[in-house]
Chains A and B, each alone.
Chain A
C-alpha cells in the first residue's frame, strides 16, 4: 500500500476456521484407495457430493506427458485398465454422518475393442437449472479414457442416477476431459479442457460454448476462436462475478483474462482484462482457480503438471494471487513485485509467490465460507524424493542437499489451506495436508450450510515407493487415497 492511500474496508471479521475446527470425514479414497482425486464436489439436495478420479499417477505413467521422475512414486499394474478405473460419485450427509456410493461409471467397449470405463474421473460438478430442468439438477463433467467415447456431460435430477446429456456438437471423442460447467445468467457455459495424447490440460484452442438447455442441446459458440490470439491454448477457468463472465486462457506466454456481460446474441463481445499472465509472463502460464469474493474476482495462477511443465520448459515457479475489480483494475495480492503497464504492482499481502513457498505448483481452488476466502494449493515437495535429481539445476540441488529432503518432507510437504477475511491478510489452516504429506493437493472446496468441505488429492495408494536401506520398495500406504475434511465453526 502506498503512502496516503486509505481505503474503506469491510466490517470486522468473525473468527474463521482454524485447523482444530476441521475433522476428517473421509479417508483412504472413501475405502477405495484408487480414488485419488476428490476432483469435484457440490452441495445438492442436502448432501455433499464428491466425484473421484482414479489412480492418477498410474494414468500419468502411461500417458505421453513428460515427467522428470527417477523413481515412480506408486506401484502401477502393467496395464492401467487391469485395475478398476471406473470413477465414482459419493455423497455424504452431515446430519447422519453417513457416506454412500451413488454412482459408478459404466463399462464400455473402447475403440480398441478393450473393455474400458466410460470415465475415469469426474472433474467438475455444478448445480444448474436449464429450460428442461423442473428443478435445479446436478451436472457433472467427465474425464474419459483416450480410447473411450470422449468427455461427457452427465445430469442427475435425484442425485442417484446420472445420465449423459448433450455436449457441443463439434466435440469429437478426442476431447477427453472437461473441467468447466459454469452457470451464468440462466445459461451453462463450458469449454473443452483436454484431449488425447498427453494433453489433459491443453486442448489447443480457446473456445467457449453456452446453452440454456443442456438436455436438448442447442449449444452456441460464445466467443471468437482463441479470442483472436492463437497463443491461447485453451480456456482453463471460467466464472461469473457480478455482471461479468470471466474466462482465463492457458498461454505459454502467460495467461489472458477476458470477460463479457454475455448479453445480446452469441458470440458475445469480450473485453480483455489481463495479458501475459498479468505481466509476469510464462510463470503465470494458466489460471487454476477463480473465485468471487466481496464483489471482486480472485485469480489463482499456476503452471500445468504440478508447477513444472517439462515439455514447454516452464517452471518451476510458484503461483500468484490477483484481485480484479468490477472496473477492470487489478491488484497483486500474493506474488512478485513488478512494473506493469498498469503501474507498479507489489503484493498487498506481503507474500511472495506460493505464500513464500518454493514448492507450490498452483493455487488450485478457492471458496467463500462464512465471510472468509479459503484457498487450497498443490504442493510438489513430496515429489522431490522421486525426482531424477540429475536433471535438477545445480543451484536447486545444492539448496535441497543443504536443507535435506527428509526435513523438507517433515516441514513442507503436503498441500496448504489458507484463509483470509479480505484477500490481503492470510492465515494458514494447514501447511502439511492436514498432517498427511500424501495429501499434496487441495482440489475441492465447497461451502455448505453445515460447514466447509475440503477434498484432497492423494494418489499415493495403494502401494507407495519408500526408500529403505536396500533401496526403493513399494509398500502399502495406510495414508494413501483422497481424503475429505469438514470444518465447522463449533469445532469437531
Chain B
C-alpha cells in the first residue's frame, strides 16, 4: 500500500454507459493528471492470474478476458516505450510477464511511480463486479480519490442497449428479468446494483475522499464541472488546464490501438472520443420502459435510488440498499462477480432463446457496421496496424515457433538421454 497522496490515483466509479470514458479521458488531460485506459488490474491478485485470466478456482473469468488486458498493454507500451505499435504491445506483454510474481497492486504502484508527479485517472467498470476488487484497490491506495459518476437510469439504460455490443454485455452480466414466461433483458438491474455497490463502498470512506457528480451536468457544462473537480483535487483550474480537459480526444488512448491491443476502452468511445457539450433531454422515472413490451416501468427500488441520487426529487430519499437482481431473477447477477456462462445459458431453455436472439443481433449489428470500416478494410488496417505488418509478424512468429519447437524437441531428447544414463548408473 502507499500512503503517498501524490501517487494516489483518482478512480471514477460508475456502471458502463455513464459518460465514464469521456469524463475519465477529459479529466486525465489535466497537466497534473494522466488518464489511463481501463487497466482492470484489481480484478486479479497476482499478475500471473491477470495475464492468464483465470480466477482463484482456475476458471476462465470471461471469454473476453484477453480484451480486458488491452488497456494495460496500451498503457505500458505508451509509458515505457513512447508509442503504441504492434511491436511495443509485444514488448508490453513481455513487461507484464516479467512481473508475473508481483501483485496487481504492486504493478499499479509501479505505474503510479512511473507517472509521478502526475496522478493516474482511471475507470474500469469491471472493478464494480466484486467487492473484493474495490477492497484491493483501497488497500493499495488508501489515499485514492473517488468520483461517483451518476447518470439518469433512463439515459444509462437506453445507452447500454444502443451501444455496440451493449446488449450482449448486459446479458453476460445477468441483467435479465426472469420473472415472466419470457426472460427480458433489463439494464436497470445493472444500473441499480452497480450504484449500491459504489455507494456502500464510498460511504465507508471519509467524505473528503469522494465526490458525486451527475454525468448530465458534465455534458451540459463540462468546464464548470471540471473546475469543481480540480478544486476538490486541489490542482490547478487555470483556463489552460480547463481547455486541455475539454479535449479528451487528445489522449493517446482515445483511439483504437494496434491490432494486438485495439481496445482498452468502450469501442463506441474509441471511435468517437470528442466531447460535444449540449443539452441532455429531460428524462422521467415514471414512464413505461421503451425496452419492455410488457409496459413495465422502473422497479420501485430503481426509482427510489435515482431519487436519492438527485433525479426528479429534491426531497432526501434513502433507498433500500439491496441488490435488485435476486428480486427480478434468482440467477447470477452483476454483484456475484461472475458472468453468465455458455453452458448455463444453453441448459436453460428460457435463457437460451434470449441468448441466441442476442447473438444473432450482435452478428447483424457488426455486419451493419461494415460500411463504416470500409476505408480501414481497403487499407488493410486492423486497429492502427497494417495488414502487411501483420503478415510479416505472422511469418516471423511462425518461424520463431518452428525454431523453438525444434529446440524443445532436441532438449527433451537430450533430457531423456541423461535420465536414461542416470538410471543405468
Contact between B113 and A8 (Cβ–Cβ < 8 Å)?
Answer: yes
Contact between A6 and B106 (Cβ–Cβ < 8 Å)?
Answer: yes
Residues of chain A in range 161-187 having any CB-CB distance to chain B below 8 Å: none
Contact between A1 and B99 (Cβ–Cβ < 8 Å)?
Answer: yes
Contact between B81 and A395 (Cβ–Cβ < 8 Å)?
Answer: no
Q: A235-262 interface mask toward B, CB cutoff 8 Å, 1 = contact, 0 = none?
A: 0000000000000000000000000000
Stretch of A138-146, A213-221, A278-286, A421-429 that contacts chain B: A421-429
Any B CB within 8 A of the CB of A341: no
The CA of A4 and the CA of B78, in the complex, are separated in Å by 24
Known: A411-B399, A412-B399. A425 touches B113 (CB 8 A): no
Any B CB within 8 A of the CB of A98: no
Question: Chain A nearest CB: distance from B76 CB in Å?
Answer: 8
Stretch of B89-97, B333-341, B355-363 that contacts chain A: B89-97
Question: Chain A nearest CB: distance from B104 CB in Å?
Answer: 12
Contact between A398 and B81 (Cβ–Cβ < 8 Å)?
Answer: no
Any A CB within 8 A of the CB of B83: yes
Query: A358 to chain B: which residues have CB within 8 Å?
Result: 403, 407
Which of B99, B109, B406 has the most chain A CB atoms inside 10 A of its CB? B406
The CA of A422 and the CA of B76, in the complex, are separated in Å by 13
Question: Chain B nearest CB: distance from A402 CB in Å?
Answer: 5
Nearest residue (CB) in A for B403 is A403
Any B CB within 8 A of the CB of A311: no
Any A CB within 8 A of the CB of B114: yes
Query: B115 to chain A: which residues have CB within 8 Å?
Result: 12
Any A CB within 8 A of the CB of B322: no
Query: A8 to chain B: which residues have CB within 8 Å?
Result: 113, 116
Question: Chain B nearest CB: distance from A260 CB in Å?
Answer: 34
Any A CB within 8 A of the CB of B410: yes
Query: A492 to chain B: which residues have CB within 8 Å?
Result: none
**Which one of B95, B99, B410 contacts A398 once the chains associate, using CB atoms below 8 Å?**
B410
The CA of A9 and the CA of B115, in the complex, are separated in Å by 9
The CA of A13 and the CA of B252, in the complex, are separated in Å by 14
Which of A15, A358, A425 has the most chain B CB atoms inside 10 A of its CB? A425
Known: A1-B102, A7-B110, A427-B88. A12 touches B406 (CB 8 A): no
The CA of A15 and the CA of B413, in the complex, are separated in Å by 45
Number of interface residues of A (CB under 8 A): 36
The CA of A465 and the CA of B339, in the complex, are separated in Å by 62
**Which one of B80, B98, B109 contacts A1 once the chains associate, using CB atoms below 8 Å?**
B98
Contact between A15 and B98 (Cβ–Cβ < 8 Å)?
Answer: no
Contact between A403 and B94 (Cβ–Cβ < 8 Å)?
Answer: no
Question: Chain A nearest CB: distance from B399 CB in Å?
Answer: 4
Any B CB within 8 A of the CB of A3: yes
Contact between B406 and A398 (Cβ–Cβ < 8 Å)?
Answer: yes
Contact between A399 and B82 (Cβ–Cβ < 8 Å)?
Answer: no
Nearest residue (CB) in A for B395 is A411
**Which one of B82, B106, B116, B396 contacts A15 once the chains associate, using CB atoms below 8 Å?**
B82
Nearest residue (CB) in A for B79 is A12
Any B CB within 8 A of the CB of A78: no
Contact between A402 and B406 (Cβ–Cβ < 8 Å)?
Answer: yes
Which of B87, B98, B110, B396 has the most chain A CB atoms inside 10 A of its CB? B98
Any A CB within 8 A of the CB of B240: no
Contact between B414 and A6 (Cβ–Cβ < 8 Å)?
Answer: no
Query: A18 to chain B: which residues have CB within 8 Å?
Result: 83, 85
Q: A378-414 interface mask toward B, CB cutoff 8 Å, 1 = contact, 0 = none?
A: 0000000000000000010011001100011001100
Residues of chain A in range 1-42 having any CB-CB distance to chain B below 8 Å: 1-4, 6-9, 12-16, 18
Nearest residue (CB) in A for B85 is A18
Any B CB within 8 A of the CB of A348: yes
Any B CB within 8 A of the CB of A226: no
The CA of A408 and the CA of B406, in the complex, are separated in Å by 13
Question: Chain A nearest CB: distance from B95 CB in Å?
Answer: 6
Contact between B94 and A349 (Cβ–Cβ < 8 Å)?
Answer: yes
**Which one of B110, B399, B400 contacts A6 once the chains associate, using CB atoms below 8 Å?**
B110
Question: Chain B nearest CB: distance from A472 CB in Å?
Answer: 25
Contact between B80 and A425 (Cβ–Cβ < 8 Å)?
Answer: yes
**Which one of B82, B91, B103, B395 contacts A14 once the chains associate, using CB atoms below 8 Å?**
B82
Residues of chain B in range 95-134 having any CB-CB distance to chain A below 8 Å: 95, 97-99, 101-103, 106, 109-110, 113-116
Any B CB within 8 A of the CB of A136: no
Nearest residue (CB) in A for B47 is A3
**Which one of A3, A350, A428 contacts B97 once the chains associate, using CB atoms below 8 Å?**
A350
Nearest residue (CB) in A for B114 is A9
Known: A8-B113, A15-B83, A348-B98. A402 touches B402 (CB 8 A): yes
Query: A407 to chain B: which residues have CB within 8 Å?
Result: 399, 402
Nearest residue (CB) in B for A359 is B403
Question: Chain A nearest CB: distance from B31 CB in Å?
Answer: 13
Question: Chain B nearest CB: distance from A326 CB in Å?
Answer: 21
Contact between B402 and A3 (Cβ–Cβ < 8 Å)?
Answer: no
**Which one of B80, B88, B403, B414 contacts A395 once the chains associate, using CB atoms below 8 Å?**
B414
The CA of A1 and the CA of B47, in the complex, are separated in Å by 12
Contact between B113 and A7 (Cβ–Cβ < 8 Å)?
Answer: yes
**Which one of B87, B101, B410 contacts A427 once the chains associate, using CB atoms below 8 Å?**
B87
Contact between A3 and B102 (Cβ–Cβ < 8 Å)?
Answer: yes
Known: A4-B106, A6-B110. A425 touches B81 (CB 8 A): yes
Query: B403 to chain A: which residues have CB within 8 Å?
Result: 358, 399, 403
Contact between B81 and A403 (Cβ–Cβ < 8 Å)?
Answer: no
Query: A4 to chain B: which residues have CB within 8 Å?
Result: 106
Query: B399 to chain A: which residues have CB within 8 Å?
Result: 403, 407-408, 411-412
Query: A15 to chain B: which residues have CB within 8 Å?
Result: 82-83
Contact between A403 and B103 (Cβ–Cβ < 8 Å)?
Answer: no
Contact between A411 and B81 (Cβ–Cβ < 8 Å)?
Answer: no
Nearest residue (CB) in A for B118 is A12
The CA of A50 and the CA of B399, in the complex, are separated in Å by 36
Q: B46-79 interface mask toward A, CB cutoff 8 Å, 1 = contact, 0 = none?
A: 0000000000000000000000000000000011
Contact between A403 and B402 (Cβ–Cβ < 8 Å)?
Answer: yes
The CA of A428 and the CA of B393, in the complex, are separated in Å by 12
Query: A16 to chain B: which residues have CB within 8 Å?
Result: 81-83
Contact between A12 and B113 (Cβ–Cβ < 8 Å)?
Answer: no
Nearest residue (CB) in A for B88 is A427
Nearest residue (CB) in B for A348 is B98
The CA of A403 and the CA of B79, in the complex, are separated in Å by 37
Question: Chain A nearest CB: distance from B402 CB in Å?
Answer: 5
Nearest residue (CB) in B for A428 is B87
Contact between B110 and A421 (Cβ–Cβ < 8 Å)?
Answer: no
Residues of chain B in range 193-251 having any CB-CB distance to chain A below 8 Å: none
Query: B116 to chain A: which residues have CB within 8 Å?
Result: 8
Query: A427 to chain B: which residues have CB within 8 Å?
Result: 81, 87-88, 91
Query: B109 to chain A: which residues have CB within 8 Å?
Result: 6
Question: Chain B nearest CB: distance from A410 CB in Å?
Answer: 8
**Which one of A3, A398, A402, A422 contacts B103 once the chains associate, using CB atoms below 8 Å?**
A3
Contact between B80 and A13 (Cβ–Cβ < 8 Å)?
Answer: yes
Nearest residue (CB) in B for A16 is B82
Query: B414 to chain A: which residues have CB within 8 Å?
Result: 395
The CA of A411 and the CA of B400, in the complex, are separated in Å by 9
Contact between A13 and B402 (Cβ–Cβ < 8 Å)?
Answer: no
The CA of A412 and the CA of B403, in the complex, are separated in Å by 11
Contact between B101 and A2 (Cβ–Cβ < 8 Å)?
Answer: yes
Query: A1 to chain B: which residues have CB within 8 Å?
Result: 98-99, 102
Query: B113 to chain A: which residues have CB within 8 Å?
Result: 6-9
Query: A412 to chain B: which residues have CB within 8 Å?
Result: 399
- Nearest first, the 7 closest Cβ-Cβ pairs linking A and B are A13-B82, A411-B399, A350-B98, A350-B94, A399-B406, A395-B410, A15-B82
What are 7 A-B contacts with C-beta separation under 8 Å? A6-B109, A12-B82, A14-B82, A349-B94, A399-B403, A427-B87, A431-B396
Extra 6 A-B pairs, beta carbons < 8 Å, given A3-B106, A9-B114, A349-B94: A7-B110, A358-B403, A398-B406, A398-B410, A425-B91, A431-B396
Residues of A within 8 A of B (CB): 1-4, 6-9, 12-16, 18, 348-351, 356, 358, 395, 398-399, 402-403, 407-408, 411-412, 421-422, 425-428, 431
